Amino acid sequence: MLNAVIFCRHGETESNLGGWLAGSRDVSLTDRGRAQAREAATALAAGKQPVTIIYSSPQRRALETAAILAESLNLPVVPVAGLEERRWGDLEGNAIPADLLREEVPNGESLTGFHSRVTVALDGLPVPQDGRPPLIVAHAGTWPVLCRWLGIDSSLLWPPNASPILLTREGVGAM
């Protein structure tokens, strides 16, 4: 089991700008989102935690962010099924509701099901032989599941777009 990861939420998308739920919709990055990913790559290259592999949600916005990071850092990207954002069903394309932690959504994925799916995906990630934390590029909804999986509390509801954050079993660390 992994004891540390670097998490990077995908760069800005049109849904982020518009304040609506993308969920399972395969939206792409904005120009600003691509610039954010390039800035994240610069921060990762200059950081104290070298990265040797990138695991990414297979959704376009995450893969696009991961590809920008990978090109800059000269690393492979491994898409990981299960790291996709929660499927919000009838709520997708609409304004972000105040009760994001509700268990059920109409024609969507339950919160419990989403947490289970992401946890299974995280459990399946191999521990890098070099002992360095892998970089995981995913979504806002992945953040609290990842924190719970590592056994830590975070005051962040979700991290900003394309801002790498070191997470260890001891807590949230500096990059």
What are the start-end ranges of the E strands in 2-152?
A: 4-9, 54-56, 77-79, 135-138
- 16 annotated to a ligand binding site: yes
Helix axes 31-46, 60-73, angle to 10 degrees: 40
Bridge partners for 137 per DSSP: 8, 56
What Rg, from alpha-carbon coordinates, does the chain have? 15
Is residue 10 marked as binding? yes
- Does 14 belong to an annotated binding site? yes
Report strand pairing: 54-56 vs 77-79.
parallel
In contact, 78 and 54? CB cutoff 8 Å: yes
| Residues carrying an active site annotation | 10, 85
Tell me whether residue 25 is annotated as binding.
no
Ligand-binding annotation for 92, yes or no, is no
Residue 34 annotated in ligand binding:
no
Q: Is 11 annotated as a binding residue?
A: yes
Residue 16: CB atoms within 10 Å:
22
- Does 57 appear as a known binding residue? no
Q: 14-20, long-range: CB within 8 Å, 24+ apart, which pairs? A: 16/161, 19/95, 19/96, 20/93, 20/94, 20/95, 20/96
Residue 61 is labelled as binding a ligand: yes
Please give the annotated binding residues, written as ranges: 9-16, 61
Please give the annotated binding residues for substrate, written as ranges: 9-16, 61
